[in-house]
Amino acid sequence: MEQKKYTYPKEEKLKSRNTIDLMFSEGRSVSKYPLRLVYVPLPETEENPIKVGVSVSKKHFKKAVDRNYFKRLLRETYRHNKHLLLENIPGNYAFMLMYQTKDRLSFEEINTKTIQLFEKFITHIKQQ
C-alpha cells in the first residue's frame, strides 16, 4: 500500500499572475461556508496536476498577523486533505482557497469544512 505524502512543495504553489488573473476572470467556484474554492483548468503540459494558493480577506482581518494565521491554517488543511483531490480529479487544475468570514474558527472546524468543500468540488467536476 502506497503511503500518502502530506506535503505542500514549492511546485504546487500558485504563483503565476496570469493564472490568478485567469482564475478570477473565467474561473468557477464552489463554496462551503466559510470557505470558497475558485478553480480553473490548467493545460495538460503542466507537470503538477494541481496548483494551490490561499487567501484571507483584509476586510475581515485588519491585522496581517491574523491573516497570516488563517492562511497557515488553510495551507495545513489543504496539505492534509489534498489526496482527496489528487485521487478524484481528471486533468490539471489551479485552485484558490479563500477564507471568507470574520469568525475565528478552530483548526478542526476549518479542516472539516475543507473536506466538505473538496467533496463538493469533486461531485461538481464529475457532473460536468
| Predicted TM-score of the model (pTM) | 0.90
Alpha helices in the chain (DSSP H): 17-26, 64-88, 107-127
Q: Is residue 4 one of the residues assigned to a domain?
A: no
What is the domain-level CATH number for residue 27?
3.30.230.10
Q: Is 2 contained in some domain?
A: no
pLDDT digits (tens, 9 = 90+) for 50-93: 999 999 999 999 999 999 999 999 999 999 999 999 888 888 99
**CB burial class (10 A; 0-12, 13-18, 19+) of residue 93?**
buried
Residue 2 has pLDDT above 60, yes or no: no
| 64 belongs to a structural domain | yes
Domain that holds residue 69: 10-123
Answer yes or no: is 128 within a domain.
no
Strand order, beta sheet including 35-42: 28-32, 35-42, 92-99, 50-56
Q: What is the mean pLDDT of the chain?
A: 91
**Is 107 inside a domain boundary?**
yes
Total domain count for the chain? 1
**Residue carrying C-alpha cell 489534498:** 82
Is residue 72, in this structure, part of any structural domain at all? Answer: yes
User: Is the residue at 3 inside a domain?
Assistant: no
Average pLDDT of 16-21? 92
Joined grid coordinates for residue 4: 500518502
Residue 97 lies inside a defined structural domain of this protein: yes
CA 93/CA 50 separation, integer angstroms: 5
